[in-house]
Amino acid sequence: MIANTNYVSKNPFIKKLWIFIFKEVKRKSEYAEGALMVKKIFEARGDWFLRNTPIEKISSITFEFTNINYDSSIISWHLTTEIWYNKEEPIVNNEKREFSKILSDYMLYLLLNQHNMVSAVADIAQTTSADTLAQFFDHIKGVPKDIKELCERLYAIPPEGIRYPSALGRGIKLAREMESLEEKKWEVMSGVWVEMLSYAAGHIKGEAHVQVLSKGGELLAFVWLLLAHFGCMYKPGWGLYYEDSSGNRDTSTYV
């Protein structure tokens, strides 16, 4: 059931989201001076964004969710995003709210349905997903009338009543922390999702990208090319990043 999910999101991939991803990667590339900084950006899974954002009230708990297994991190952030997207009634149109939802659904789609694309970074996704579902059914009794009620019931589960650490427990705990950020939470979630997407794109084997490009392409493959273009790939053997003896970056070696 998990591996053959046909539909994950009804939200279309919009041009404004691609522009947002482009700007986020380009912004980080401005810090990519020296192999050490390039490596930090390349290995970031949300932590670089969180450490470099001026948004206040981001506690150490938030950083905790960027230092766990990649598949668990995707599921936890997806739960947080889904809870707030359905639980909250937006006062005004918030593009980053929509960006967060689309990227969240897309990453879950890759995790569950495109295992060959993310197997290098999420090799126990099916086990983690099954465990999360088992805990979910342990805590949610009866059938909620809609997704909004389901998210409200998830959010209301007392933290002490959830086995922790787990993807479900972390997701609910993180959702509770996001409340203090108010509207800024969507800026945080959208920024983290771009980093999660970039991490997956950069760590996938090249042949996997080639395979999907031959079939019309996958967003992940285009992000991979974008990272290479801006010099945010820490793959010296590929010639994507090079620093000569004088310390100058040689952009001629970029893809």
Task: Give the number of domains in the chain.
Answer: 1
Residue 2 lies in a domain: no
Task: Specify if 87 maps to a domain.
Answer: yes
If one compares 141 and 126, the residue with the highest pLDDT of the two is 141
Q: Is the residue at 19 inside a domain?
A: no
Task: Fill in the DSSP letter of residue 65.
Answer: T
User: Tokens 């820490």 correspond to what residue?
Assistant: 234
Whole-number average pLDDT of the chain: 76
Rounded to whole angstroms, the Cα distance separating 139 from 125 reads: 21
The torsion angles phi and psi of 124, rounded to 5 degrees, stand at: -125, 30
Examine residue 167 and state whether it is found in any structural domain, yes or no: yes
| Domain that residue 167 falls in | 48-206
Alpha-carbon span 188 to 106, nearest angstrom: 17
- 2 pLDDT above the threshold of 50: no
Looking at the predicted structure, is the pLDDT value of residue 211 above 60?
A: yes
User: Looking at the domain assignment, is residue 245 inside a domain?
Assistant: no
Would you say residue 158 has pLDDT above 60? yes
User: Per the domain annotation, does 32 fall within a domain?
Assistant: no
- 254 assigned to some structural domain: no
pTM value > 0.85: no
Structure confidence by residue, pLDDT tens digits, 63-104: 677 777 888 888 889 999 999 999 988 877 889 999 999 999
